[in-house]
Amino acid sequence: MAAETLTVEVAYALPHKQRLVALRVPEGTTARQAVERADLPALFPELPSGTFEQAPLGIFGKALRSPDTQALREGDRVEVYRPLAIDPKAARLERAKRQASDQGR
């Protein structure tokens, strides 16, 4: 009997370029293994080597705590997250400072 396979997707996006890779993978494939199979470095050659190896992953917008062991289910979309350019708390603080100085004029 042949091993069961699943259809999953792997998504990665830059501000100017997005890719969604559909894959057929064996049952039991982990989120990290699916990212490896998607061969994202070939689709994003402009990124440094190793960008995807330890990148944080999620499924349908929910971050995974253990992407190396999280087995996928039929139809899952694995999302590869980029590092934040600025900490969200720092960004809010900067906006609040700008608004306060604008109101003081």
Beta bridge partners of 16: none
What's the CATH fold of domain 5-103?
Answer: Ubiquitin-like (UB roll) (3.10.20)
Residue-level pLDDT at 1: 44
Q: For the whole model, what pTM was predicted?
A: 0.78
Segments in the chain below pLDDT 50: 1
Q: What percent of the chain has pLDDT over 90?
A: 70
Structure tokens at 33: 């293994």
- What are the domain boundaries of the chain? 5-103
Q: Which residues contact 41 (CB under 8 A, 6 or more apart)?
A: 47, 49, 51, 52
